[in-house]
Amino acid sequence: MRLPKPLPSLSPLRPLRPLTRPVLVAAVLATTTGSLLLAPNSATADRKPPVREGSAPADSAARAPASAARNALAAPVTDLSAGTGGYPREQVLAPDPENPADKSIKLGLTPYHAIAPKLNELQGLGDRVSVEVAGRSAGGHRLFLVTVTAPETARQTRAQERMRELIENAPQAAAKDTAIKASYKTPVFFNNNIHGNEWEGTDAALKLIERLATAKDTKTADLLAHNRLYFNITANPDGRIAGTRTNANGFDLNRDFITASQPEVRAMRQIAIDKQPAVMLDLHGYVNGTLIEPTTPPHGENYEYDLFLKNTYANALGMEAAVNGLGYTPAKDGVEPVQIPFRDQQEGWDDWPPIFTPQYAAFHGTVAAHTVEIPMTVNNSAYDTLPVEELRRRSAINVDVAGAAMRATLDFAQSHRTSLIADQIEVFRRGATGAAQVPVSAETVPGVPGIGPEDVYTTDFPRAYVIPAGAGQRSATAAGRLVDHLLANDVRVTRATGDFQLAGRSYAKGSYVVDLRQPKRGLANVMLADGRDISGKVSTMYDISGWSLGRLWGATVERVESGGLSAVPLRAIDAAAHVGYVAPRGGLRLRLDTPQEIAALNSLLQQGVSVRQDSDGSALVPSSARAKAVALARAYDVAFDATKASPKASQGTALHRVRVAAAVTAGELFALREMNFDVVPVSTAILDAGFDWSTVDVLFVSSGLDHSALTPAARTALDAFLATHGLVGRGATGAALNAAAGLLAVKPVEGNGDANGVVRVVNSGTVTTGAPDHSFVYAPVWFTDLGPGVRVEQSYATGNPLVSGHWRPLDDGTGGPTAAAGQAAVVSGPHAVLFGTEPLFRDHPKGEFPQVGRALLTVSRS
């Protein structure tokens, strides 16, 4: 396949993304030395008056947002790097409308609408507190990032920025830099309320900020002279207001860090990149007694776990002493002593996947990162059933516990600041030089008791990854999206300026190369590697165990184990090359292999363009729609190639705009809308209330719809719809509805409900034409006893289909991966397609989305 040519008339949709670390090493080396040790009130004379929110402060020159053209739903991210001015950088925040329904109020906590006025008040207490708006939530609420530090002149702030750049970009030089040891302020980050109905971290943070803003003691002055403290006041304002774990899009933000589908996560990602914290806490609830990371095995194999464990365990001990020292007891208060899972548990609360905030932060140089689960339950049923007085008593304890953990962390950061920064430098040095990881042991991590072979997890980093161009690339559109995602995560990517050979393979000009000798090699590898089958390591996992973007995002990615890159003609890039293209004459062909291509097709259908689907699964578009194709090629970065096939009735099958009734998860709903489907959410309750089936064309079911629980009238209406329209079902719920409606004659077999990961598959049908040979499963299902008219669209590969993740048989020996091997994973027939895989899981496996898109288009016309 050729790489589509760029369309000369197309202008770039997205702004160019500047390099996240644009400072040249030589310049950093030249200008870092001689920076001044900051003392309290050293910048008071340079203090500027606060500005109104929305104006452009002179000290906050923001760079262009991260590239997002290949994700139509990606919101720009505020750049939070130092800019050109000093601290404080105050602004007057506009108030939010008072909301008496805010769920925080019942608990005696700070409602969201009171946060902006409180932050205005805190900024007015002195010259230590600054506020930035880090972004907006899915529901449109502001995300407030507060910085607390001793005042800095603009010159001092620039020196801090240069030192921060040096630590990442030239870690070997940074390790020897006397200015860093003397005057670099240790960045400490407190992330609060990422789960909206785990409220109290926000209130503890506000109390701590106020104390730091007003304290006159020498200890506080010394702390703020040597540290910058960052507070994400509420990471999930939507959930805080509504009393929900998730944001307004229904997403658990603490599962989204490898995908970054949500604006709140993209804001936190930017904080991690721009502030480069050495220490961080992520405040959660509720586990009694307070649960403090480090965790049980398995441990993430891609970060420098020896450095992470050393610092995280030491800080955990300090937090334990502080929390237990509050004096709460089981008998008097109902508060149990602190638990440290690494020390106190065997398994079940691991740090394996990079989807959690502390695990993601570790790849950006955070060497002491913790989830902290405060003790007293006040959410869910407790919120609805306990007396207000009891809820407020519990919340007050939780605020106290969270505050103790924060204060202990500040003590730890202050007393260990030199070693913390040295360890952060060492993380980046190992990556940049290709140094080996250090396995944990009693010798390599002294002071941490109980280290055993069950705690040793390391990986073999390849020399590089190549994302080929030209005939070796499955999808140039998918490749561009993957490259932009890597860049947005501060992974360095280069592009070949000529043809080259590497490790005995030939690659075309324009191929992308990810050199694993870079400071954040762990993040590059955790995204692109296949991962590992850890089924035999532990009996249970806390959440997902496999997630490879290299296998699941639809682009061809090749692992290069060895070989030099010096002879390869490469240049650094800050954005992937555009591939949007429209052939200058004749009929057009649009492949349907990426979410963007499905979205472009749905836009054409919405505009009334007559489109047909060819036997290879691609869409045939008439030449009369060329102007519309040009706009869509620009918007979605997709290619409309020339074709001799005719989009007339004699060629292919007519496609029509599809309106989808969807009883699905939040992630699936989000993915459907990303593909530009018109979606109407439904559920058992909505159907029971009376639903107008004439307004939709197809039903997609994976969750929340139980045929047997419907009222007789609702069941009759649903059955009548399914008798003449299409069903796409996923998992056990979709298969159950199929059986109740009597559509496809199949027997669904449910695997282990805890199983998840990346699996090898074999594609054999029209829905899966051209699909990747890997998919994702969670609680996998397969289909046997296939009746007449049932086609196998996709099968689990023979042998052990699991590539990476955790999939064990049940106690009786059934439900494991070998039982699924060779069995049908996706089946189709008249009016129905059933998936045993999870192709839209949490908006993550981008390369699998088109299977669902094609299924919806197919069953609606059958």
3-state percent breakdown (helix, strand, coil) of the chain, nearest 5? 35, 20, 45
- The Cα 382–Cα 813 span in angstroms is 39
Confirm if 697 and 726 have CB atoms less than 8 A apart: yes
Beta strands in 50-141 (DSSP E): 51-52, 91-92, 129-136
CA dist 412 → 38, 409, 419, 499 (Å) = 20, 5, 11, 52
For residue 718, the surrounding DSSP H or E stretch is helix 712-724
> 188: which strand partners?
229, 279
Beta strands in 169-315 (DSSP E): 186-192, 227-232, 279-285, 291-292, 296-299
- The Cα 164–Cα 179 span in angstroms is 11
How far does CA 211 lie from the centroid of its chain? 33
DSSP state of 708: G
- The Cα 267–Cα 79 span in angstroms is 9
For residue 597, give both structure tokens: 């291509």
Q: Is 433 helix (H, G, I), strand (E, B) or coil?
A: helix
Alpha-carbon torsion, ordered 101, 103, 107, 110, to 10 deg: -80
Q: Would you tell me how many other CB atoms lie within 10 Å of the CB of residue 36?
A: 14
Confirm if 81 and 228 have CB atoms less than 8 A apart: no
- The Cα 435–Cα 576 span in angstroms is 29
- The Cα 594–Cα 72 span in angstroms is 13
Q: Dump the DSSP string for 440-484.
A: --TTTSTT-TT--GGG-------SEEEE--GGG-S-HHHHHHHHH
- The Cα 797–Cα 407 span in angstroms is 52
Write out the catalytic residue numbers. 373
DSSP state of 87: B
> 512: which strand partners?
467, 495
Contacts of 735 (CB under 8 A, 6+ apart): 729, 746, 748, 781, 783, 834, 836
DSSP state of 702: S
- The Cα 856–Cα 328 span in angstroms is 56
- The Cα 839–Cα 847 span in angstroms is 8
Confirm if 102 and 144 have CB atoms less than 8 A apart: no
Q: Is 431 helix (H, G, I), strand (E, B) or coil?
A: helix
- The Cα 430–Cα 363 span in angstroms is 12
